[in-house]
Amino acid sequence: MKVTILIEDTYGKPFMDGLIKDLKSKEFVDRSWAFKVNQYNVYKLDKMLRAATDSDKIILFVDCDGDCNNNNARSIHEICEKQNDGKIGIIDLRYEIEDWLCISEGMKLGKQKSSSAIMAKRGYKKFRLPEYSTKLNVELLMKNCKSFKDFIILLKE
């Protein structure tokens, strides 16, 4: 199985590479599957989806920045709907991928972006995102984080 993961965050690729490796070691993901992670932006998304035709599954993360009906999120969904042949799965993140870091540490998501919340609490710096890929509390995320659960479900389908 070939899976392409598309993520908006600059540091999302190394974070997701590390997370996939960790999930494989914990047997959440089939070890034989091949994963390719890329960063995207809405302006190049259509082209990137067409280029991923050799993938059996495409998982795309959307940073909703607190509102999954914002123009950027809607544009991303519309682009995916035009190209979706059943193999594109979309994960709407309430704010951004740092949502997972906060929830993994038992923090509640409020009105503040998760990267700002974890920065205030832990001194988090964005460039350190990849370091967190193997520190996530997967069990806590499975219980308390819809976007993470949706991600695992897409991986197991």
Q: What is the CATH number of the domain that holds 70?
A: 3.40.50
Q: Which helix (H) or strand (E) holds 134?
A: none
Query: Alpha-carbon Rg of the chain, whole angstroms?
Result: 15
Closest to 39 measured CA to CA, from 15, 23, 56: 15
Q: Please list the pLDDT of the chain residue by residue as tens digits (157 residues).
A: 999 999 998 899 999 999 999 999 988 888 899 999 999 988 899 999 988 889 999 999 999 999 999 998 999 999 998 887 889 999 999 999 999 999 999 998 888 899 999 999 889 999 999 999 999 999 999 999 999 999 999 998 8
69 Cβ contact partners less than 8 Å away, ≥ 6 residues apart? none
- Counted domains in the chain: 1
The pTM of the full predicted model, rounded to 2 decimals, is: 0.92
State which residues form the domain around 151: 2-156
**Token code pair at residue 145:** 């984080």
